[in-house]
Amino acid sequence: MTQTLAPSPVTASPGTTRARPLLRAVAVLACLPYVGLKVAWIAGSRAGMPEGSVLLDHRATMIAANGLTLLLDSC
């Protein structure tokens, strides 16, 4: 007869359990400026881009790239 060794369940300490929602909220809040800037660039803003920048030459490519990274960050 073969015996399998299952790992014992790991229980989180009470301090860890309370810290998770706070850390999750901090991570979400930290992403908001990035998401806001991506939305602004998709909408046509030039915030943070110097005049004559190559980023302004290919509007459709910038919208696609920013849309993709916005989607990934939202996940």
The reported pLDDT for the residue numbered 8 is: 67
Beta-carbon count within 10 A of 63 CB: 14
DSSP 27-67: HHHHHHHHHHHHHHHHTT--TT--TT-GGGT-HHHHHHHHH
Tokens of 33: 């400026």
Q: What pTM value is reported for the model?
A: 0.68
pLDDT of 7-57, one tens digit each? Answer: 767 676 666 778 899 999 999 999 999 999 999 999 999 998 999 988 889
Tokens of 25: 């909220």
The reported pLDDT for the residue numbered 55 is: 85
